[in-house]
A and B are shown apart, each in its own frame.
Chain A
């Protein structure tokens, strides 16, 4: 297993944002994390990325215990991530943003710039565009590019496709497929079921801090507990109409 999270819990005083969550990710997989707002996905995600230290449990990446390691160490070990609200370096151009990531494996400026250029080209962004002038879809794409420039083995995408038009969504799905084809393993937090159904082979469903279901996307969307907790009445109605 590339990533193995066992019994991960995160409590804030009395409140458990995540309780006893397990996740095993094999090299080359694309895994989806879904659940309603406040279900604990992002907290769990932050535990995996090293931004939050779990209250209990263990996280092992490529044979190394990363439970208490910092997010810098995670990046060095080969875990890249994006943010739900993209933290763009607004005073820098797209290329410079990506270069910050590229410097991790390419300390010399020219090497980092060449590597960053290739990544920017792959993501279809304009290298000289100021970060400040990008809209939300552009910033999310830049977030992916920046993380990709660190040459991760595992890429954690936090709602990177939210708020896109249908056309942009198609492009973004194609981009994620290309990244996967490069040999990168992916864990995706996403609300858009189309993305989950299209890209992933396995899904974990969170509700109130617990993993309430896991399995193939098809199995999960038909799971009674999931329908009740997440997809809800609207889904059932749609099913009836269909």
Chain B
């Protein structure tokens, strides 16, 4: 798929000093952000940004690195969101207890869904993933056990610390930041190992990858399972914070589309691309929402559509590619000066 092809060749490594400094600065900025901009509005943006970055980074493993553009990742997000609240509703357990179960269920779902959908490639694969996610959404909307169209609710007030129900956004912010750090570290390890090489080879040419002995189907399945696991964690984190889920906010197509757009905007198949995409898209979305309020709910679709057109037309590799195109000019100017 052209939209996600990147001409960026160099990969992240801990070797160079400027990169280490860059990572240090990024970590410091993320750690200090909610302390410096401590108003609830800014903290809310921070938490939303982290959720978007985590889900897009999780999608990035299979959609970016392996080039298998799933537009149905909401199925894993929704599973991650529903399971903790189902645990609470049925047995009164803290929602957190449902998180590991949701991860296992999502991996299982990935393995089941991957079998038929990975027989398809390109747009057909994308469409199949949309179909599966939509089926799950519609089914959830009619299933009484999971609240049907009304959905499920979590504990209104904290019964114990295990409920992770806080008034302040601050604990959520650092909890999500820790998950993001874990995900990025995992992705960085994947990038450097055989698995990462195989993913990028599959993205470029399955035929050539197979001829070199790459177990294509198995590698794609592993990537989908890993991606599903982290996407599921995002869903669980989301409900632990909001305490509410319904079919649209769990399995809705906008959830999937947002993951794709955030990753593609920053640079799919790059470590920090999804982070960069979230950094731009989340404030943009929050601003348009606050300008237009409830009346502008359809605007999100227009915004997403516009971004897809712009990325596909001008920077198929996302902003990271743009940076790699522009950066040499700056360097030349600096040298000239």
* Chain A residues proximal to chain B, CB less than 8 Å: 49, 51, 70-72, 74-76, 80-81, 83, 87-93, 96, 99-101, 103-104, 107-109, 112, 130-132, 146-147, 149-150
Most chain B beta-carbon neighbours within 10 Å: one of A100, A101, A103: A100
Alpha-carbon separation in the docked complex, A76 to B218 (Å): 15
Shortest distance between the CB of A91 and any CB in chain B (Å): 6
Alpha-carbon separation in the docked complex, A91 to B267 (Å): 13
Out of B7, B197, B204, B214, which one reaches A72, CB within 8 Å?
B214
Alpha-carbon separation in the docked complex, A150 to B5 (Å): 26
Residue of A nearest to B201 (CB): A100
Shortest distance between the CB of B229 and any CB in chain A (Å): 23
Given known pairs A89-B204, A89-B205, the reply for A103 and B198 (CB within 8 Å) is: yes
Alpha-carbon separation in the docked complex, A150 to B208 (Å): 12
A-B contact pairs, 5 of them (CB 8 A): A74-B211, A90-B5, A96-B200, A103-B194, A146-B212
Residues in A with CB closer than 8 Å to B213 are 72, 75-76, 101, 104, 150
Shortest distance between the CB of B17 and any CB in chain A (Å): 19
* Chain B residues proximal to chain A, CB less than 8 Å: 5-9, 192-194, 197-198, 200-201, 203-205, 207-216, 269
Residues in A with CB closer than 8 Å to B269 are 91
- Residue contact A100 to B198, C-beta cutoff 8 Å: yes
Residues in B with CB closer than 8 Å to A74 are 211
Alpha-carbon separation in the docked complex, A112 to B193 (Å): 10
Residues in A with CB closer than 8 Å to B9 are 91-93, 130-132
Residues in A with CB closer than 8 Å to B197 are 92, 96, 99-100, 103
- Residue contact B211 to A88, C-beta cutoff 8 Å: no
Out of A71, A75, A87, A104, which one reaches B204, CB within 8 Å?
A87
Most chain A beta-carbon neighbours within 10 Å: one of B6, B200, B212: B212
Residues in A with CB closer than 8 Å to B212 are 75, 100-101, 104, 146-147, 149-150
Residues in B with CB closer than 8 Å to A150 are 212-213
Alpha-carbon separation in the docked complex, A104 to B198 (Å): 10
Residues in A with CB closer than 8 Å to B207 are 51, 71, 83, 87
Out of A92, A103, A147, which one reaches B211, CB within 8 Å?
A147
- Residue contact B192 to A109, C-beta cutoff 8 Å: yes
Alpha-carbon separation in the docked complex, A151 to B249 (Å): 51
Alpha-carbon separation in the docked complex, A93 to B197 (Å): 11
Shortest distance between the CB of A202 and any CB in chain B (Å): 24
Residues in A with CB closer than 8 Å to B214 are 72, 100
Shortest distance between the CB of A144 and any CB in chain B (Å): 12
Given known pairs A100-B214, A109-B192, A130-B9, the reply for A83 and B204 (CB within 8 Å) is: no
Shortest distance between the CB of A142 and any CB in chain B (Å): 10
- Residue contact B194 to A107, C-beta cutoff 8 Å: yes
Shortest distance between the CB of A51 and any CB in chain B (Å): 7
Residues in B with CB closer than 8 Å to A149 are 212
Shortest distance between the CB of A235 and any CB in chain B (Å): 34
Alpha-carbon separation in the docked complex, A59 to B90 (Å): 60
- Residue contact A51 to B211, C-beta cutoff 8 Å: yes
Shortest distance between the CB of B214 and any CB in chain A (Å): 7
- Residue contact A100 to B209, C-beta cutoff 8 Å: yes
Residues in B with CB closer than 8 Å to A83 are 207-208, 211
Out of B7, B193, B203, B211, which one reaches A71, CB within 8 Å?
B211
- Residue contact B211 to A91, C-beta cutoff 8 Å: no
- Residue contact A87 to B205, C-beta cutoff 8 Å: yes
Alpha-carbon separation in the docked complex, A71 to B192 (Å): 25
Alpha-carbon separation in the docked complex, A108 to B193 (Å): 8
Residues in A with CB closer than 8 Å to B194 are 103, 107-109, 112
Alpha-carbon separation in the docked complex, A132 to B269 (Å): 16
Out of B193, B204, B210, B215, which one reaches A92, CB within 8 Å?
B204
- Residue contact A87 to B215, C-beta cutoff 8 Å: no
Residue of B nearest to A70 (CB): B210
Out of A71, A88, A89, A101, which one reaches B200, CB within 8 Å?
A89
Residues in A with CB closer than 8 Å to B201 are 89, 92, 100
Residue of A nearest to B67 (CB): A91
Residue of B nearest to A143 (CB): B208
